[in-house]
Chain A
Amino acid sequence: MNRVIPGFSLSLGITVLYLSLIVLLPLGALVWQALDVGWERYLAIMSGARTLAAFRITLSTAALATLFNGVYGLALAWVLVRYDFPGKRYLDALVDVPFALPTAVAGLALSALFVKNGWFGGPLAALGIDVAYTPLGIAIAMAFTSIPFVVRTVQPVLEDLAADVEEAAATLGASDLRIFARIIFPAILPAFLTGASLGFARSLGEFGAIIFIAGNLPLKTEVVSLLTFIRIEEYDYPAAAAIAATLLGFAFVLLFLVNMLQLWQQRRIGTGD
């Protein structure tokens, strides 16, 4: 511990007190409410058709959104790191739009684009693809709000990648695709998976962007966060507590996974904190 610089007790005291009041107290209350529900009732709530459907819809659309961002995010990071082209700085700035833009605004904009007479909805309807008020719309809203995760985790690792192994492989006659698959991709894999997990976690809990475009029909286009909200509005607090605590459990599992991935990454680079 650094004993020269003052202010340790004060800053630690403020931090711990603030986190206890603002973060731990409410999360503790949620867990306490959920435990109060009891195991049998919890199982009954969670195995209800509407709850099960909401989890199935949320998990599958989040997976679809993560798949899209895995491909697009990786390509975006690659283009930003490896190439120079006019407007690159603007592209880099645009990546953060989904983080800065309120989710309600994003949802509103996406629904305007994808309704039947919207810029995208019209042409898509002509192709027989409905987006607004379908699970596909949910996936699109999730994909939009989680675009930055893969880009921003992969970008710095790709920047720091040493050129020598790549060059050696090229000298030995390996093709671009082979070098990418055998050398580059394994090197960025931990960062890529970290970004994908963060994006997936964000998608599981997304609310604002989705409710504008989803149609919100029970059993069809109702996501878990919305079902939690509806249970609260119905004053069905045990159900809200059970569902919210389950969602919190998912968040912790993903957080644990991300931490494991970061340990893997640090070991690979050989630099700890």
Chain B
Amino acid sequence: MASDPRTQATAQGSRRIRVGDGPATRRVLVGGVLLVTALVLVAPLLAIFVEAFKHGMAAYAASFAAPDTQYAIGLTLFTALIVVPVNVGFGIAAAWCIAKFRFPGRNLLVALVELPFSISPIIAGVAYLFVYGAQGLLGPWLGEHDIKIMFAVPAIILASLFVTAPFVARELIPLMIAQGSEEEEAAVTLGAGGWRILRLVTLPNVRFALLYGAALCNARVMGEFGAVSVVSGNIRGQTNTLPLQIELLYQDNNAVAAFAVATLLTLVALVTLVAKAIIERLDAARVKAQGRPGH
């Protein structure tokens, strides 16, 4: 957008040409937005850390000594370790067929990929219960074969797969459409096979978007609450992920421990946002160098 004449005009501080550029309007709007943002976005973040360290460093550190909390940390990491790679794979497959090909039902497929974003996590949890629960679609069969999915780790993983399915695909699809297929077509002409093209041409071109999608997916998996609380059964030290542990600690009136655990997930969120900012800057530099979006 650097070549946009209006940005240049404002940058040079020339005559007032656009709506809202008057000094008074500008000050009121920027000031008002900053004030509201401090109250609604910054204050909650601060409150988490203030509450967590309310009784000092020792109390904060002691919060992580509880075996249930340590188990929750492990289970959350384990879940992310499975869900993120699976949804990265799905995202690449979905983006490949949607971005590189035209076929009947393509728009419907795009809508389906995005569908989990529009569905309440509680609905997702209930829906899974109706598949794998004792009275669910597959319940009797699973019972006969003594396979436990509901109220156990597999259900947590399945529900997490559902809620985070769109994250990687959604970052890749628009970018791969914008980049076109010329490089891949050239690679085919040169005799490269599909996997080689994916590994050496396509993925390097979308690596930043892929990383960002994976980071978002990871943050959401680690923080998912609604869907997981329906399917996990909330068994302490068995099916409790970190967000569920926060709720339990809070109900136990162990506020410091609840906030201490919350700081971990807040840090995951902040790291994700910093990663996004870095990726966007790298991307902007790349667009400048190559003249095309390269996320």
Contact = CB atoms under 8 A, between A and B. Distances in A.
A78 B29 CA distance: 9
Contacts of A206: 120
B230 A96 contact: no
B148 to A, nearest CB: 17
B125 to A, nearest CB: 8
Contacts of A259: 111
Interface string A184-223: 1000000000000000010011111001100000000000
B55 interface: no
B119 A248 contact: yes
B250 A212 contact: yes
Given A19-B112, A79-B29, A229-B229, A2 B162 contact: no
A61 B111 CA distance: 28
B284 to A, nearest CB: 11
A212 B51 CA distance: 15
Contact of B266 (A76, A101, A159, A254): A101
A102 B224 contact: yes
B121 A207 contact: yes
B119 A11 contact: no
B48 A228 contact: no
B19 A225 contact: no
Interface string A90-131: 010111111111111110111011000011100000000000
B1 interface: yes
A104 B246 contact: yes
B128 A26 contact: yes
Given A5-B181, A7-B194, A105-B246, A240 B94 contact: no
A147 B42 CA distance: 13
Q: How large is the interface on A (under 10, 10 to 19, 20 to 34, 35 or more residues)?
A: 35 or more
B162 A26 contact: yes
A16 interface: yes
Interface string B93-123: 1101110111100000101110110111111
Contact of A32 (B44, B137, B226): B137
B243 interface: yes
Contacts of B94: 11, 14-15
B194 A176 contact: no
Given A15-B90, A101-B223, A108 B130 contact: no
Interface string B236-261: 00000011101100100001001100
B48 to A, nearest CB: 5
B291 interface: no
B33 A105 contact: no
A241 interface: yes
A267 interface: no
Contacts of A225: 120, 122, 226
Interface residues of B, number: 106
Interface stretch (A39-47, A49-57, A162-170): A162-170
Contacts of A112: 47-48, 51, 255, 259
A95 B36 CA distance: 12
A166 B18 CA distance: 7
Interface in B254-291: 255, 258-259, 262, 265-266, 269-270, 272-274, 276-277
Nearest to A235: B135
Contact of B265 (A78, A105, A247): A105
Contacts of A180: 19-20
B47 A244 contact: no
B81 interface: no
Interface string A140-168: 00011001000000000001000100110
Contact of A5 (B19, B185, B266, B272): B185
A109 B42 CA distance: 11
B82 interface: no
B216 interface: yes
Nearest to B226: A207
Contacts of A201: 118
9 contacts: A5-B101, A14-B90, A14-B93, A15-B98, A26-B131, A101-B265, A102-B269, A105-B243, A201-B118
Given A91-B33, A101-B45, A105-B48, 20 more contacts: A2-B181, A5-B101, A11-B92, A11-B93, A25-B131, A26-B124, A26-B162, A72-B36, A103-B225, A118-B47, A120-B39, A179-B19, A205-B119, A206-B120, A212-B250, A228-B123, A232-B126, A232-B129, A237-B135, A252-B118
